[in-house]
Structure 1
Amino acid sequence: MPDDDLPSAAPSGGPTPPALLHALVTAPVIRTYVVDRDLRILRTGTLTFGEPPERVAGRLLTEVFRLEDPAAPARVLRRNLPGVPETPGPPASATPPPAGPALPEHATPSGDDGSGPAAVVRAHRTDTAGTDRTFAVALHPLASDAGTGGPPDASGPGPAGLLVLAADITAQERTVARAAALDAVRERVGQSLDLAATCQELVVALVPGFADIAVVEIVDDVLRGADTPTGPPARGTPLRRIAFRGPLGKGGAAHPVGDVREMPHPTPYSLSLGDLRPRLVQLAPGLPWYTTDPDRAASIEKFGSHSLIVAPLALRGTALGVVSFYRCGGSAPYDESDLAFGVTLAAHTALSVDNARRYERDHTVASTVQRRLLPPGPTSPVALETAHVYLPGRNSGSWFDTISLSGARTALVVGRVDGQGVQTASTMGQLRTAVRTLAALDLSPEELLARLNDVAVQLAEERAALPVGDTLRHRPLTATCLYGEYDPFTRLWTVARAGRPVPRIVRPDGTAQPFDLPEGPTLAAAEGAPFVTTEIALEPGTLLVLHSGGNLHDRPGRRSVDEVLSPPDRSLREIGDAIVYNYPPAAHPDGAVLLLARPAEAGPAQVATVALEDDAGAPAKARTATRAHLAAWKIPKDALYAVELIVSELVTNAVRYGTPPLVLRLVRTHTVTCEVRDASLVAPHLRHARAGDEGGRGLFIMSQLASRWGTRYSHDAKIIWAEVEL
């Protein structure tokens, strides 16, 4: 039971504190004292904790014992004697009286009903060895059966004095303290799955209750995630001091936290680590191993440490580190029961350290997989500047992407799969791949998210079909995604979202642009509500901030998000860094991905549009216009010839099978894109013509000349496009 749970004294006439009374009753030795009204000791038992009676007689009770409640004796006396001061008793005389005034032979100890002490208090005193010990002290008022309540020479009513019973409960107190320390360790240590935090939680839980100083040192390879061999580590293996707590904080320690060095040998620390057995050492000046480790010897002397427990942190025969507990000054030295308790603490800590080590290793693997599955480097979209910020954390499922689409458009994507570990990272990779595959089909944002949701549902069903013993089976799949397409020529951003992430939009003048983007259901959600597409016009210089989680919101004591994003004409890298600086690491413990984009002027020289008549002369007109524009753009002749053939084939198909109006558009970027638009929703299909077929070779020839081609739809037309690399 913690000290705070023990009342300092029983109220007059009230019940005795049960814990102290139990300790008093069960104590192997109880010493007695008789004190007068001034609390001066008149008589004692034959032996008073190693001191002869004559050394105690005549002294004040408050001089012999340091009462945690010094006013308790006065309260007991004042029950029947008004006017007794709060701290009674004159200064002790230099020469104690030989026997003290005699009490009546019929004086008897009594509570209110004669059944128990009027008060039980905790007290302390230092024994002859200099060790502080704890006592349960019972105070009984002494009353006469004549009813006067005082000694024969007393002039007024009241108790004759006090009968004091003192029991040494140091052993019981240590047992209670060890139980409290073990409860604290089990409650605190190992909750964070962070190795350094786990070790720091241990020393915080044990100092000052069980130890005056606690030190944890971990094999450096364990911290680095390397495999450690079974058995004791080889001599010379470096250890890192990972946690320290003492009366002076970190000052005065032999080595600072974070220091890496080999363990000197032979010392109790190296021997404990070598045979994986604990050591109990009573420290004294001039021990032989002090010369082997002079830094620790100097620290021991500085702190006044006199007792040491060293216990290895080992699990399944593998050494992970070593923990050291010290007691200093007046603290009782460690004994064998403390050593056994230290081994228990070390075993629990070793398990927590191993769990943290395994988590760190899994997290490192998952983070590596995640980074491998993210885009390898920046892209160069048309008239769109982009940058990203990756904040690593516990979550390994955040991703972003910039995808080049037909017609010089760019898709901006951010998403997140909830969870940790390699499985979360692999699921993220599957969804990112699905997004890129669906984007190549030129689907609208709401249709793409609907198809992506189908993929997520299939992945969730695969999880549910795993064996019962697989932990992944019981982890629901939850994912979010935002997908938007930007057209540099119309300056429209068409976007839809599944789940939480809402983008921030800042106008070139630094003001926030309101953007009402309906929230769709999360991926693989049960409700299956439809996704909604929203369009917004973006003027050049507008800043877009897309993020994978809910970390972009104002926080107390920090600049507002709008202030951080202004002015938006800075470099995107600078803006991204400013966002990170404005949020402490605790603001994004799960990690996050930020994708920043800023539209620019596309320029009329990059695009040419030609309206065509729906007649047999349309292909010739299209070829003539194509040669003129490509010559103005200084396109190489081999590429010009390929583009001219593709345009001729696409326009011919549109005249034969399409519906007017017909429009040809040429777009020049790092490629030349040919687009033919008509009002029919019927798309051509590529066929592989046989040797005797008279038709079916046009699209095949086009597919061989183009690096890629496809079809996309709007609400009232279709566009067949093809790209030729320059």
Structure 2
Amino acid sequence: MPFPYIRTMGTDVDAFLGRLARHLRPQVEKLSGLLLQRLNGEFPELWENADIEALTLEETAQHVTALMDLLEAHPGASASQAPPAALDIARLYARRGIPVSRLLRAYRLDHLSLLEQVQAEAPRLTGDWHTINLATVRLVAIGFAYVDRSSEEVVAAYQEERDRILQRRLALTARASKLIGTTLDITRTAEELTEVCTEDFADLVTVDLLDSALDETGSGPPEALTQRRVAQRSVLDDCPESLLRVGGTHTYPGGSEPVRALTTGRSVLHHIAGTEMPAWVAPSESQGRVLRDLGLHSVLLVPLHARGDTLGLVQFVRHRTSAPFDDDDLLLAQEIASRAAVSIDNARRYTHERTTALALQRSLLPRHTVEQPAVETASRYLPAGSRAGVGGDWYDVIPLSGARVALVVGDVVGRGLHAAATMGRLRTAVRAFADIDLMPDELLTHLDDVVIRMQREETPAEGETSATCLYAIYDPVSRLCSLASAGHVPPTVVTYPATGETTRTSRVVESPEVPIGPPLGLGGLPFETIEFELPEDSLLVLHTDGLIAGRTRDVDLGLTTLRDVLTSAPDSLEETCDQLLAALLPGRPADDVALLVARTRALDPDHVATMDLPSDPAAVSGARRFASDVLTAWGLEEMSFTTELVVSELVTNAIRYGKSPIRLRLILQSTLTCEVSDASSTSPHLRRARIFDEGGRGLLLVAQFTERWGTRHGREGKVIWAEQSLPADSAPTIKAT
């Protein structure tokens, strides 16, 4: 009868394991010590950090106790949860930046050693090797079940702590971007940096600027490493960690870590082990004792680098915070210091470059683009690395009627104030032509005329004005992109396959076949508009040739590199811009670079309402009812009166003076747009009706009751449109499809 025999043997094995557990319980502390000795050689971090060492000993003892509990439990008992100390040490590893793989390896070796110790004790209780073998099999099964379950909990605790740290770092970055650089004052900007970073990042922050960077003439020799302490802040009163006070000057010892950081421009992460205290940290023995008593254990040295110049050095120090700085902290410090460096550089340049800044103020690129529903954008502009000055590259994002947007990038030939001023004039002209809703080829034709007139006004010393330009219009309703080029490199388009996959590996990167017309200023040659559909979430990358071409780089190689980066680019457009510049411009660019990356959106179909109308005055009342019903569905009943008036006047105008087909379209986005299209190219005009005139007041009323109105012409016919602002308390949430 085998079955009772098997049950009997199982009961005997369980009883033996319970007896073995009771035998080992008094030896928990001894077993824990043996296990830690086993880990001694492979995991030095257990002994280099007193807090990890103490917690590891507690964790090991809890694991031993937990296994004893399982062996004494009834047969089939499930594996218990991980001990509290195991979760605590997982969180500690996460705070210290130790990889989770190290934690799991230590975890496995610890449990394997424990099983070996328990197995070694079995012969002390019985000489029956059959029972010992069966007990070993059961012991391994119980042990691995316990390891599997507790490992999952340990990894979850580790990841939860890492996520919390990441959220804290993101909050710090957001706070730094908001609070650093609020004024054009060097000292205040440096103080803002120290205030932000001592709240939840470092225990001491110091900001030193090179004397050459503070020289108003900017003529200090680059090898002069004398620094001035501009700001410092500590979590302790009176800043006992530093002998230097604000305003004092000093130099670091030659060959020290700070000097190397300043000369190479590379940040340094330095851990201080034991009683070691470098001379650049503690210039005197008494100061060394103070720092050792405080427990100083790690330092970050981050150069302040802006616009190709090294301005100084920021030190981040930890002593009260137990967790030392890690590589992630270094990256975070670099990002914050980079923001601060730009602000400090802006402040130091302000006084001695004020005249030049005022001259360029009217023509510099837009710092911020207006948010609108058609596209999400990110942009970069890099001036040439040479001393020739600012060039004439530019980009622009221009909202158009009907929820559309214009994307522009251009390049004026030449460099210096003249090129920058010319760029400002052309950008203004493009905005003016965009405001009257010209097609891309028509806009470039008018812009070409502007450049020719500018050439006639120039003196021989100024040289001949010439420029390239790419002008694109994207419509989020139809998802159509129309563009034309005047001697400019075509854009790059990133799309996803129609299957709906959105992984990076499924991206399709290509350049549309754009007919490249002549550069602006030649005159008499035509431009051509092409049109293609862009799926939602496509990327449209516009840039000047400085991004892909250089003195030592072929254009084809630059295009290949650009496409490779876009194939695996991150979701963030800002990070995409950074990766493109890092891959294509590892050094200072030889030519100006303008980069504009746009992610397309599609307007929700529920926010577009269309009605075809007959060329019959009786259709006006139906158009008004249609508009009223649509506004009711959108929750905008309070706008019905004005909208019905606008619809009535525009539809009447199209029926009376236009040609069929006539179409009414309402678009709900950040504004309410009413459009009426017809096949006639005749433009309407505002006129002031006389007292006894029966008509002539329609467009005047539309202009008075709406925010904006206008006419745009297509290949066939025209569209008259009018925009109204939405009530602040009833504006719906606009979302893409």
TM-score, structure 1 as length reference = 0.49
Higher helix share: 2
Higher strand share: 1
TM-score, structure 2 as length reference = 0.48
